[in-house]
């Protein structure tokens, strides 16, 4: 269970995944799986590109040690880039707005508080600009999904798994997190890799659950999965997917195929 949701004392009942019609019809609903993609394939450059998020302040070195540290620093950056972009994977969803079902004034009359009615998300996953609402939105039961993920990645020796709502905060966005430099000049390559991995494990919230406010309309909730595999991970959605919604301009020619694929899901 996410520490963030423990702190807020609330959990989402349902989560939504927007996707292009082609992706849903040719992959997700056919294979009955969701891919947990590597960070290098996300569309946020904070995640898919290397940024200067490590802080090395407070280190005092002699001239000779300074030369050695320059080499170590270059190696650290290369190792961090590889581990971040290839070993860390993310599974992303949208949530309902916090006011959804709250009973607040006018909340019950505002359809855009529901995670399945976000116009910008529908437009983002359109196949072409001329058909801005022809995509698909998949509604999942959070509790079943959480159990499926826990079951799939139960090997704690192989996987590190966390979850939580994304925070949108520009002030925190460029924070530099301190890196443990103890005995840094004495570490071999394997020890450097372990030190970098520990850095990500310790700071996963600040690195992976923090985004610019420009993304706030997604109201994102995500699972983070770390394994040393340089490949995506997958989970079965059979028995977890509860509803398949299509956009206003979803091509009717695909209706029979979509009906057959939905019928094959338990």
Per-residue model confidence as pLDDT tens digits over 123-150: 999 888 778 889 999 999 999 999 999 9
Q: Distance between CA 264 and CA 253 in Å, rounded?
A: 19
Q: Cα separation of 101 and 104, whole Å?
A: 8
* 32 or 104, which is more confident: 32
Lowest mean pLDDT among 4-18, 182-196, 225-239: 4-18
Task: Tokens 């995509």: give the residue.
Answer: 135
Number of domains the chain is built from: 1
Give the pLDDT mean for 70-97: 92
Q: What is the pLDDT of residue 2?
A: 37
Domain around 74: 3-263
| pLDDT number for residue 52 | 59
Percent of all residues in the chain with a pLDDT value above 90, rounded to a whole number? 65
Global confidence as pTM: 0.87
Residue with more model confidence, 65 or 9: 65
Q: Do residues 113 and 97 lie in contact, with contact meaning Cβ atoms separated by under 8 Å?
A: yes
- The sign of the CA dihedral 165, 166, 170, 172 is positive
CB 227 within 8 A of CB 233: yes
**Residue-level pLDDT at 60:** 62
Identify the DSSP state of 103.
Answer: -
Say what the pLDDT of residue 64 is: 64
Residue that is written with structure tokens 């009942």 in the block:
13
DSSP 160-177: EEEEEEPEE-HHHHT--E
**pLDDT class for 204, splitting at 50, 70, 90?**
very high
At 1 the pLDDT is 33
């Amino acid at each position: 269970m996410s520490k963030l949701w423990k702190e807020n004392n609330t959990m989402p009942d349902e989560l939504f995944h927007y996707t292009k019609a082609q992706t849903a019809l040719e992959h997700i609903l056919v294979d009955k799986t969701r891919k947990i993609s590597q960070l290098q394939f996300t569309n946020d450059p904070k995640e898919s590109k290397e940024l200067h998020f490590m802080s090395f302040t407070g280190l005092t070195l002699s001239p000779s040690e300074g030369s050695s540290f320059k080499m170590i620093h270059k190696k650290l950056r290369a190792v961090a880039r590889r581990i971040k972009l290839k070993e860390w994977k993310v599974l992303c969803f949208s949530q309902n707005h916090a006011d959804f079902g709250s009973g607040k004034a006018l909340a019950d009359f505002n359809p855009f508080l529901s995670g399945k009615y976000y116009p910008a998300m529908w437009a983002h996953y359109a196949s072409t600009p001329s058909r801005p609402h022809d995509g698909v939105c998949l509604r999942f039961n959070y509790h079943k999904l959480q159990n499926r993920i826990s079951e799939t990645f139960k090997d704690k020796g192989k996987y590190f798994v966390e979850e939580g709502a994304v925070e949108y905060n520009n002030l925190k966005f460029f924070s530099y997190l301190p890196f443990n430099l103890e005995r840094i000049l004495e570490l071999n390559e394997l020890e450097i890799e372990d030190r970098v991995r520990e850095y990500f494990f310790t700071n996963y919230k600040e690195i992976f659950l923090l985004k610019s406010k420009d993304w706030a309309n997604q109201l994102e909730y995500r699972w983070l999965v770390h394994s040393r595999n340089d490949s995506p991970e997958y989970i079965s959605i059979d028995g977890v997917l509860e509803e398949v919604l299509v956009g206003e301009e979803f091509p009717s020619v695909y209706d029979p195929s979509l009906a057959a694929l939905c019928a094959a899901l338990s």
